[in-house]
Amino acid sequence: MLKFDLKTIVFMSMLLTFMLSMLLAITRKHHKEVHGPGYWAVGNLVIGLGMVLVLIQLDVERLIFLPGMALIGMGLGLYVNGIQAFNDQLPNHRIPIIVFVLLTLIDTYFLLMNHDIRMAVILAAVIFSAIYLYCARLTFTREEGILGNFFWITSSLYLLMAVLMIGRAAYASQVDVEVFESFAAWPVNAYTFMLGAVSQFFISSLFVLMLSYKLNRNLESIATIDSLTGVLNRRGLEDASVKMQDICKRINLSMAVLLIDIDYFKKVNDTYGHLLGDDVLRHIAKTISGILRSSDVLGRYGGEEFCAFLPNTTEGDALGLAERIRAGIEASPIKLGLNVNLKTTVSIGVADSVRAGYDFKGLLATADSAMYGAKNGGRNRVMSYTQITRDTKQD
């Protein structure tokens, strides 16, 4: 078999993994909103300690009992918790404890009491394969894009390690029992721990990349979300509308826009204060979001104005949806106190790409004209661009 310096390979892999653990720990400290890196950092350290103990165990002339395998299993259990947390699931903290106890009992019984090294190797390999398969299942996702690719590669590595452990168990069950009298010299050990250490480094690197991608995505989300209402801000709205326009224009679908303005909002701020004004904005955004369809895009355009882009929607269809929004807001006043309600209304302008084209500014300009027509007509009403142009021609 090919000879290599196992200690050097494992040491270098564990050193690099330790450095990644420090990076994960620092990230956990400064970005507590992202779950998972803390488990991975501690898991790496525990696995590294377990690897060191296993190497010591293999380096002595006679087999001694050290909980190296149990610590490696516990570290992998912590990785399971990290993946669960990263996927916004509740981590099962019993997993690393159960794995540690099982592997400790196996080593205690079969190494110290029964002296059956073969059975200890087989059972430990089966437990490790089960952990790796579970990790492969947790990291298997249908999510597309870069994050989905990272998950797919990680899942493949875990699956590969599971197959390796199954092969280790199968091979151990077939070889002559005399092999285990010089267990430390068994070549399968060297290859198993070398591949385990290297794969652990690559898996840790992939988790660092996934974490970096998720943090960048969160930053992009912060940059495009209105912190007060939770809907898109103006920048996010423009980006989303451009994407929608490209799709609708490519497959020749109409799209409509609603420009929604809160009536007498300045009077609300002057009378009740800006804190209540903020409550009004949140209430309006929540009401509109509850009425719009899942394919529609809603954003706060500025001040007390909201804007919604509606794909595959004509002006007539948009008028019906706008009327539902107007009626829904009028029918849901904000409670100020016992038997005291603040009634709010909105004026809505409607336009579509059939009459205004797909251009973002053109659509908004026509919807803005319709919205001011609604305000000039007495507020708390819906008007379309077609209606105001028809009224202008009649005049």
Q: Provide the annotated active-site residues.
A: 304
Buried b (16+ CB within 10 A) or exposed e, 323-342: eebbeebeeeebeeeeeeeb
Which string of DSSP letters, residue by residue, matches 83-151?
Answer: HHHHTT----THHHHHHHHHHHHHHIIIIIIS--HHHHHHHHHHHHHHHHHHHHHHH-----HHHHHHH
Q: How far, in Å, CA of 128 to CA of 83, rounded?
A: 17
Comparing C-alpha atoms, which of 316, 309, 312, 311 is closest to residue 387? 316
**Beta-carbon-side half-sphere exposure of residue 12 (alpha carbons within 13 Å):** 7
| Cα–Cα distance measured from residue 67 to residue 50, given in angstroms and rounded to the nearest whole number | 7
Give the Cα separation of 135 and 196 in Å (integer). 14
Three-state DSSP class for residue 194: helix
End-to-end CA distance of the chain: 95
